[in-house]
Amino acid sequence: MVSTIDKFTLLPALISFALSAYLAFLNLQVTEHPTKITLLNWATVLFVVGAFFIAAWIVMWIIRLGSEKME
């Protein structure tokens, strides 16, 4: 069963990774330099946000494992 923590961390991480990949692909199609820079910046920001969500999920998972062993 999926916990609430998984829903609030993994789903946004998946969405941000997907948007990051889409913006990176869109960056390859655009020819205007300022637009390319903006798309690449947003793709990078979304990738980092997704990585933070995954890191938060890992920390919460470790805490959950530790609390289950203490019971």
pLDDT in tens, 22-32: 999 999 999 99
Report the candidate in 61, 41, 47, 62 with the shortest Cα–Cα distance to residue 12: 47
pLDDT digits (tens, 9 = 90+) for 6-47: 778 888 999 999 999 999 999 999 999 999 999 999 999 999
Say which residue, 27 or 71, is predicted with more confidence: 27
Q: What residues contact residue 57 under an 8 Å CB cut-off, 6+ apart?
A: 5, 6, 9, 10, 13
Confidence grade of residue 2 (pLDDT, cut at 50, 70, 90)? low
Residue found under tokens 């990949």: 21
pLDDT in the model for residue 7 = 77
